[in-house]
Amino acid sequence: MNDTILKAENLCYTYEADDRPALDGLSLELHRGKKIACMGSNGSGKSTFFLCCNGILRPDSGTVYYNNLPLDYSKKGLLNIRSKIGIVFQDPDNQLFSASVAQEISFGPMNLGFSESDTRQMVSDIMEKLGITPFAHKPVHALSGGQKKLVAIADILVMRPELIIFDEPAAALDPLHTELVHDIIGQVTKEGITVLMATHDVNYAFEWADEILVFHNGKLLDSGSPDEIFSNDTLLETASLKPPIVLSILKNPEILNTYSCKRKHTFTHSL
C-alpha cells in the first residue's frame, strides 16, 4: 500500500527574474492513493513544485521520479506524464481558454486522442456528475467564480489522471461551492486517485488529509500525519501555520468562553 507514486529529489529552481530560488533542495515522496495536503506560506514553493511535477518547469538541478522512473522531458515523455498528472489551477480564468463549456472540457480528451463520439460521451458524463449541465449552455465569461471552478475541475477529471493536484481549490469560493468542491475531492480519492492539494485551510487539512507536507522557503520543512504536524508547535511557528480550531479548544477550553461571551454580547446588542 505504501508505494511511491511521485518522488522529488533535491529539486532546485530559480525563476529568471528572481535572485532567490523558488525551490531550494526540495525532496519528498507522495504515496499512491493518499490524500496529501501541501501547506506553507505564500511563496514557499508549492506552485513551482506543482509545475515541476508534470514537466512544465524543468528543475535546474535534482530529479522528479514518477512511478520510480525519472521524468522524461522529450515531447512524447511530457505528453505521457501530463496524461497521468492533472493540475487544477488556482485561478480558473487562467485555465479556461474557450468561451464554450463543452468545448473547454473536451480539450483534454481530444488531446489524449479519444474519438469525437467518445469525447462527447465523456464530456456529458462529467458535466452530469459535477452538476455542470444546468449552466453548460452559458458562455464561460458569464459563469460565477464557483461555476468556473467546477468547470476547471471537470477539465482535469475528464482526463482520468492517476494523480490530481489541486492548487488552493477553495480560494475565493463561497461556503456552498467550497463544500461542493470538497465533496468532489472526497469522491475523487474514493475512486483511488491520489490527490495532492495546496491549502491554507488548517481545519480542512486536519480533518481531510492522510499526510501533510509543510513547505518553507523552497524546502520540505516536515511531513507527517495531521496529528504529528499540528502537535509540533515549533514547526507551526516556523511555517507560520495556526493549529486547527479543534486542537486549540482541546488544549485550551477557555477559548469557548470567549466565543460564548461574544455571542451573548451580540445577542444583547441586537435586542
Nearer to other proteins, 32 or 120 (CB): 120
16 near other proteins (CB under 8 A): no
| Shortest Å, Cβ 245 to other proteins | 33
222 forms beta bridges with 214
Name which position in 10, 61, 68, 111 contacts other proteins (CB under 8 A): 111
Owner of C-alpha cell 486542537 = 247
| Shortest Å, Cβ 100 to other proteins | 4
Nearer to other proteins, 61 or 100 (CB): 100
CB atoms within 10 A of CB 125: 13
| Shortest Å, Cβ 138 to other proteins | 6
Alpha helices in 17-166 (DSSP H): 46-53, 75-84, 92-95, 101-111, 116-129, 145-157
- Rounded Cα distance between 65 and 147, Å, is 34
Pair 235, 219: CB distance under 8 Å: no
- Rounded Cα distance between 152 and 91, Å, is 9
Torsion sign over Cα 87, 81, 58, 201:
positive
Residues 134-173 that bind other proteins (CB under 8 A): 137-142, 155-156, 159
Name which position in 108, 218, 226, 244 contacts other proteins (CB under 8 A): 108
Name which position in 123, 150, 184, 241 contacts other proteins (CB under 8 A): 123
* Number of amino acids touching other proteins (CB under 8 A): 41
26 forms beta bridges with 11
Footprint of other proteins (CB under 8 A): 51, 54, 56, 75, 79, 82-83, 86-87, 89, 91, 93-100, 102-104, 106-108, 110-112, 116, 119-120, 123, 137-142, 155-156, 159
